[in-house]
Amino acid sequence: MKFLKKLLGSLFGYLEKHKSFDVIGAEENISRFILESSKYRKSDHTVKSRAFLPNKNGETSVYRISNLTEVAVWGIGDEYVSKNHPDKKPILGRGDLLASTIFKLGLALYPEKTVHELHANIVDWPSEKDEKMDLAIELAREINCKLILKN
Amino acid sequence: MTTALAIDQQNRDLLFNYKSFGNGAYAKKVEKYISSEKAHFFISVTNSKSYQLREKLTAAISEALLDNWDGYNSSRVKNKAIKVAEKFIDLYPLSIPLPDIGVEPDGCIEFEWFLDSSRLFILSLDENGILSYAGRFGEGTKIHGKEILLNEIPEEIIGKLIRLFRKT
């Protein structure tokens, strides 16, 4: 019993330290910042599916933007996405969607706060490329995922 | 008298490297004719779908020459994938509208045919000639799969593109 208490104490201490209780809710608004004109269609301002495909680490970088003002959202894009780009490319726009859209597709969304408190990654992508593409199409088709141009 | 000169893609070097060894009027006339055909050939090539696709491919590649090209830790475009894309362009059927071309975060090259959000077809070409695809042909119709690019574009892919554009 004493051992069990100690074990649980260590476990809760670890979880508290790593803030793993910070679970992203289905109702949260998520945003993907766009820096390349090749990732959206100029004709109708829709985001192309390739904008959501994961990088070589199997992650799609996004930000949690619920309850933030527009100015604050664009500020994150400028300070933490644009400035991290090797050429410091300006933010062209962003695609917003609900976290529930991501979860419904069987993907996961985990906080990753190294860069910023509200940074997260879409993970658990399938290993097959065609399946990834299929899911990326669904993300891009999300009705709210119309590109919001930055001025 | 009307003269016709037919030059196919494989024999175009013959046209470009043609040099007359004759000095007579007829030889000069042939050389002049060949020169004018060269000009026509260039006009034809620059207007062709193949040329336009190569221009789109070059633009896409130029954006992704280095790792982390998009600031999201993406891989640079794969050289062998470029070769596969060039081969695909060489085999591209004239009857099908031109796609958009871009580079994906894993360094593969993507061709996208887009009508609207429920009618689109996306093809990803990797360094091994694997063609991964995903598409939508109207509400409720979704497909994805893989083919391999050998000496011709797989019928499966052509069929899906025809299906996409037949719906319009």
Residue contact A129–B124, C-beta within 8 A: yes
Provide the β-strand partners of residue B110.
B102, B124
Contact A70, A78 (CB under 8 A): no
Q: Does the beta-carbon distance from B144 to A134 stay under 8 Å?
A: yes
Q: Taking all residues of chain A, what is their mean pLDDT, rounded to a whole number? A: 88
Question: What digits encode the pLDDT tens for the residues A8-39?
Answer: 666 555 555 445 458 999 999 999 999 999 99
Contact B63 A48 (CB under 8 A): no
Please give the backbone phi and psi of residue A130, each rounded to the nearest 5 degrees, phi first. -65, -30
ipTM over 0.85: no
Token pair, residue A37, equals 């004109």
Backbone angles phi, psi at B122, to 5 degrees: -125, 135
DSSP string, B11-29: GHHHHHT------SHHHHH
pLDDT in tens, A94-136: 999 999 999 999 999 999 999 999 999 999 999 999 999 999 9
Q: What is the pLDDT of residues B69-93, one digit of tens each?
A: 999 999 999 999 999 999 999 999 9
Token pair of A2 as six digits: 């004493």
Q: Is the pLDDT of residue A73 over 80?
A: yes
User: Cβ distance B120 to B113 under 8 Å?
Assistant: yes
Non-local CB neighbours of B122 within 8 Å, separated by 6+ positions: A49, A50, A133, A137, B110, B111, B112, B113, B133, B134, B135
Q: Which two tokens stand for residue B82?
A: 């470029």
| B83 min Cα distance to partner chain A (Å) | 19
With beta carbons less than 8 A apart as the criterion, state whether A29 and A64 touch. Answer: yes
Of the listed ranges A19-28, A46-55, A91-100, B60-69, the one predicted with least confidence: A19-28
From A20's Cα to the closest Cα of chain B, the distance in A is 24
Question: Smallest Cβ distance to B71: which of A46, A86, A133?
Answer: A86
Contact A95/A29 with Cβ under 8 angstroms? no
Structure tokens at B52: 């336009």
Global confidence as pTM:
0.79
Q: Is the pLDDT confidence value at B19 over 70?
A: no
For an interface test with B, give the residue of A41, A116, A133 to mutate (most B CBs within 10 A).
A133
The answer to whether the CB atoms of A46 and B134 lie below 8 A apart is no
CA separation for the pair A131, A136 (Å, rounded): 9
Phi, psi (degrees; rounded to nearest 5) at B136 = -135, 135
Q: What is the pLDDT of residues B121-168, one digit of tens each?
A: 999 999 999 999 999 998 789 999 999 999 999 999 999 999 999 855
Nearby residues of A60 by Cβ (< 8 Å), 6 or more positions away: A32, A52, A53, A54, A121, A122, A123, A125, B72
B45: its two tokens: 């090539």
